[in-house]
């Protein structure tokens, strides 16, 4: 392939991103599957009604089990972004066919691949960040779930509980299964709600900003509202099954939503074009291109780099030679 130089630049600039990504995944793993970060032990009031709801069983027995959430949260955005990028690429390619016909296959598909990897990569990064934020919040606050006392099963006689106003700080007050008690101490913010809203919002922003539906105008609002409804449903079910307080769910929605909005607006610039692979220096001084075969030049002006506007750079570039 003739496109060696810009690709090399790009792959070097990806190294810090890969390191950060690996660190994020590792941290998420430590929060999720190890007890490296011990949960803060909070006390409780004897017979506290807001923590005495019946134990609903492990998360796997929920109406919306974690397996279902994780599969949907992975599958829906991946599918949407793949479909959206392929559609945008091939509709755009038809318009600019004579421009790209000279380029080699790898140069032709390279922008498409770059966009897909970038959007899915940022999505994955946000996914793990949301996991870390929710887990960190749960571990630091140690707020209890509504079924905490049913899981804890404190011996009120041994603790000397006479009135409901008495506050128990004894660390070994619980007689229930330690694993269940530990997970009943992790409630704020709700991770499932955060992940579903993050995923739904990222997908909704992708759909509204990139999709160009020529048919009915209601397609995009329908997809968007369906996804947001599904995310809300996760939170509602969590509250209905006594697994979280509504404030946990609200905080989860806020966490996931804020991360999605931040990533889309500040990091991937509303799914607009990417920075060109070649340094801008090359465009300003065409004489410095002398060492590079001229065939690589159309790669810089690839059809997808100009998707969604920003024609300024393209025009300035083409006016030079
Ligand atoms: C609770 O504690 C009291 C006093 O220590 C003890 O007699 C009783 O057997 C305990 N009850 C349970 C269910 O463990």
Convert the pLDDT of each residue in 107-132 to its tens digit: 667 888 889 999 999 999 999 999 99
Query: Which of 46, 152, 153, 155 for mutating ligand 1's site (highest number of atoms within 8 Å of CB)?
Result: 155
Cα separation, 298 vs 290, whole angstroms: 15
273 secondary structure, DSSP code? P
Q: Which residues lie below 8 Å from residue 43, measured CB to CB, with a gap of 6+?
A: 167, 168, 169, 170
Alpha carbon distance 143, 191 (integer Å): 13
Ligand 1 centre from 174 Cα, in Å? 12
Q: Which pLDDT belongs to residue 312?
A: 41
Write out pLDDT tens, residues 220-264. Answer: 999 999 999 999 999 999 999 999 999 999 999 999 999 999 999
Evaluate if residue 182 carries a pLDDT over 90.
yes
The predicted pLDDT at position 165 comes to 83
Nearest to 52 by CA among 168, 145, 183, 176: 145
End-to-end CA distance of the chain: 23
pLDDT in tens, 219-232: 899 999 999 999 99
Residue identifier of the C-alpha nearest atom 7 of ligand 1? 158
Contact indicator for 252, 194 with CB cutoff of 8 Å:
yes
pTM for the full predicted model: 0.80
Closest by CA to 302, choosing from 101, 122, 119, is: 101
Compute the average pLDDT of residues 181-186: 94
- Asked if pLDDT for residue 69 goes beyond 90, the answer is yes
* DSSP H helices in 96-190: 97-100, 105-141, 148-152, 156-159, 178-184
For residue 319, the surrounding DSSP H or E stretch is: helix 311-319
Structural element, H or E, at residue 204: helix 191-210
151 C-alpha to ligand 1 centroid (Å): 17
Task: Please compute Rg for the chain using Cα positions.
Answer: 26
Cis peptide before 189 (omega within 30 of 0): yes
CA–centroid distance, 160 to ligand 1, in Å, is 11
Distance CA 153, CA 216 (A): 57
Structure tokens at 47: 């017979």
The dihedral formed by the CA atoms of 197, 199, 204 and 206, expressed in degrees to the nearest 10: 150
């Amino acid at each position: 392939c003739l496109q060696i130089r810009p690709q090399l630049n790009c792959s070097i600039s990806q190294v810090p991103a890969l390191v950060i990504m690996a660190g994020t995944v590792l941290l998420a793993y430590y929060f999720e599957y190890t007890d490296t970060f011990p949960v803060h032990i909070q006390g409780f009031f004897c017979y506290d009604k807001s923590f005495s709801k019946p134990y609903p069983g492990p998360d796997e027995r929920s109406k919306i089990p974690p397996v279902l959430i994780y599969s949907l949260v992975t599958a829906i955005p991946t599918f949407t972004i793949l479909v959206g990028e392929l559609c945008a690429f091939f509709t755009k390619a038809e318009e600019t066919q004579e421009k790209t016909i000279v380029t080699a296959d790898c140069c032709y598909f390279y922008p498409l691949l770059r966009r897909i990897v970038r959007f899915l990569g940022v999505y994955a990064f946000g996914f793990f960040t949301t996991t870390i934020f929710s887990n960190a919040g749960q571990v630091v606050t140690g707020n209890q779930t509504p079924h905490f006392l049913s899981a804890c099963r404190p011996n009120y006689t041994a603790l000397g509980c006479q009135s409901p106003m008495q506050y128990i700080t004894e660390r070994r007050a619980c007689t229930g299964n330690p694993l269940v008690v530990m997970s009943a101490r992790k409630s704020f913010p709700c991770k499932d709600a955060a992940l579903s809203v993050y995923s739904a919002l990222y997908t909704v922003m992708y759909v509204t900003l990139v999709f160009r539906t020529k048919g009915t105008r209601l397609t995009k609002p329908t997809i968007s509202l369906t996804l947001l409804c599904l995310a809300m449903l996760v939170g509602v079910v969590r509250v209905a099954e006594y697994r979280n307080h509504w404030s946990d769910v609200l905080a989860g929605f806020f966490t996931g939503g804020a991360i999605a909005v931040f990533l889309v607006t500040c990091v991937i610039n509303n799914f607009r074009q990417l920075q060109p692979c070649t340094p801008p220096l090359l465009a300003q001084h065409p004489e410095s291109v002398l060492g590079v075969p001229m065939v690589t030049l159309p790669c810089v002006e690839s059809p997808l780099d100009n998707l969604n506007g920003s024609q300024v750079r393209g025009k300035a570039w083409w006016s030079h030679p």
